[in-house]
Amino acid sequence: MSANDLVIDVQGITKRFGSRTVVNNIPMQVRRGEIYGFLGPNGSGKTTFLRILCGLLKPDAGSGQCLGFDFRRESPEIKKRVGYMTQRFSFYEDLTIEENLDFIAKLYEMPQRKAAVEKSLEFLGMAERRRQLAGTLSGGWKQRLALSACLIHEPQLLLLDEPTAGVDPKARRGFWEKIHQLAAGGMTALVTTHYMDEAERCHRLAYIAYGNLLASGTMGEVLKTVGLTTWAVTGENLSALADQIRKLPGIEQVVAFGTTLHVSGRNAEKLRASVSPWMTGAYRWEQIESGLEDVFVSLMETAKDNFS
C-alpha cells in the first residue's frame, strides 16, 4: 500500500480522561475512496477517536497523518478539508434549509457561496424544500441537511458519527447510496455505526470496545480473525433449548433470530460436544457462516470494561 494512497495513517492514538483510558494505542490506515466502518458499543471511544482525527481533541499519545498533514501539529489544515457529521442535529431550527447552508458556507469563507449552496441543494434533492424551516424537517430530511452541510466546502474526508441513527430504512438506504457515489468519486468516509447491515456496506471495518481495537480488516478478514463457529437451530420450543444449553462449555452465544436459534462459540470442538445430545430428534441443526452481528456480540462479550 503506497503512502500516497492513505488518507488516514496513524499509530498509537491514546486519549485519557483522568485515570480512564478511552482510546488505547489504536492504529488506523484508510485508503483514498474507501468507506471505513468503525463499530463498537456506546462509550467505546469511537467519537473521541473521530474528534482527535479532525483536531477537536488533543491525544495523549500517537503520531501520523490525516490528509497528508501531521494530525497533531497541522490540525487547522485538516479541519479545512474534513466534513464532520455529528450524532445530533445541530443547525438553526428557525432558519430555512437554504439559510442554514448559506451560514455554513459563510463559515468556510467560500468565494462562490451562492453557487455552492445551490449545488448542495440539488445534489441531495432539497431544492424544492429550500424555504422549509429546519425545525419542521423529519429525521430523514434533517439527515440530508446535515450531510449537505458537511459537503458544501467539498471536503476530501467525511467523518460520520452514527449518521443514520433515528431515521427510517428508506432514508438510510438513500444515504448510503450517496456515500458510495461520493466514494466512487474519490472521497473517503470514516463511519461509526451500530447497524450491522450498514457495516456490511463498508469496504473495511474496525471493532473497538472500551478503547481497545479488537479486530480490523475486510468483512471476510474480520470473520476469519474472530474464528467463530455458528449453528442455526430450528424446531419446537427453542426457548427451552436455549435455557438448557446457554451455560455449557464452548457456548458463547445463544440468540433468537425469528424462528431460528443461533448458537455460537470460538472453540468448534467444545461447542459441538456440548450440543451433540440435542442434535437428534426434535431439532434441526445446520452449521452456517457467522454473521457480523454474531461476531460483534462475541467481541463485546470478551472485552473488558474500562469505566473504573
**Residue 145 pLDDT > 80, yes or no?**
yes
Map residue 145 onto helix, strand or coil. helix
Q: How far is 103 from 89, CA to CA, in rounded Å? A: 15
Q: Which three cell numbers stand for residue 140?
A: 430523514
Which amino acid, one-letter code, is at 195?
A: Y
Question: Which residue has 441443526 as its cell numbers?
Answer: 285
Which is it for strands 229-234 and 253-257: parallel, antiparallel or unpaired?
Answer: unpaired
Question: Which residue has 430450528 as its cell numbers?
Answer: 234
Q: How far is 183 from 132, CA to CA, in rounded Å? A: 29
- Give the range with max mean pLDDT: 29-33, 106-110, 144-148, 193-197: 29-33
Confidence bin at 168 (pLDDT 50/70/90): confident
The domain spans of the chain are 3-223, 229-289
> Cβ-count burial of 123 within 10 angstroms (0-12 exposed, 13-18 middle, 19+ buried)?
middle
- pTM here is 0.87
pLDDT in tens, 41-91: 888 899 999 999 888 899 999 999 999 999 999 999 999 999 999 877 778
Mean pLDDT confidence for 229-247? 94
- Asked if domains 3-223 and 229-289 share a fold, the reply is no
* Mean residue pLDDT across the chain: 90
Q: How far is 55 from 80, CA to CA, in rounded Å? A: 11
Map residue 75 onto helix, strand or coil. helix
pLDDT in tens, 19-46: 899 999 999 999 999 999 999 888 889 9
Other CB atoms within a 10 A radius of the CB of residue 97 amount to 27
Other CB atoms within a 10 A radius of the CB of residue 183 amount to 18
- The architecture in CATH of the region 3-223 reads 3-Layer(aba) Sandwich (3.40)
**Residue 304 pLDDT > 70, yes or no?**
no
Residue closest to 87 by CA, chosen among 135, 26, 171, 159: 159
22 and 204 Cβ atoms separated by less than 8 Å = no
Q: Hey, what CATH class is 229-289 in?
A: alpha beta
**Residue 306 pLDDT > 80, yes or no?**
no
